Amino acid sequence: MEFGNGNSMVPTLISVVLMIGIFYFGIIRPNKKREKEALEMMEKLAVDDVIQTIGGIIGKIVQVKADVVIIESTGMKTRLEIAKWAVKSVIKPGHRKNTAENKEEE
């Protein structure tokens, strides 16, 4: 019985390593980057920010708590309490100032 050449496993191994590399750099790494950006955005939420939720609700933040924010809709001034993870994006930052601007003023 002859099983063939020992070198026949090398191309297969290289293919598997390439597929794993493509999977990591194409899917896993970008997702981790997006998750990190989302966590940073959630930590920076502040009063007077105009936000959009994942459900499409747009409102202005009137209070920030540990895991929730209270937003006020524009029309009838309705207030909603939503989880921070449900914030999709900050449409318009509030009146807070950057640390670089604060240093320039001093």
| H-helix segments, the chain | 9-23, 29-43, 99-105
* Residue linked to tokens 């597929």: 19
At residue 97 the predicted structure's pLDDT band, cuts being 50, 70 and 90, is: low
What DSSP designation does 1 have? -
Contact 62, 74 (CB under 8 A): no
Tell whether the model's pLDDT for residue 99 goes beyond 50. Answer: no
The pLDDT, as a whole number, for residue 6 is 56
Q: What is the mean pLDDT of residues 11-34?
A: 91
Q: What is the mean pLDDT of residues 29-49?
A: 91
**Higher confidence at residue 8 or residue 60?**
60
Tell whether the model's pLDDT for residue 102 goes beyond 60. Answer: no
Contact 57, 87 (CB under 8 A): no
The domains of the chain are located at 45-92
Q: 49-76, pLDDT tens digit by residue?
A: 899 999 999 999 999 998 999 999 877 8
Contact 51, 97 (CB under 8 A): no
Strand arrangement of the beta sheet that strand 79-83 belongs to: 79-83, 68-72, 58-64, 50-53, 87-92
Comparing CA positions, the residue from 54, 22, 56 lying closest to residue 41 is 54
CATH of domain 45-92: 2.30.30
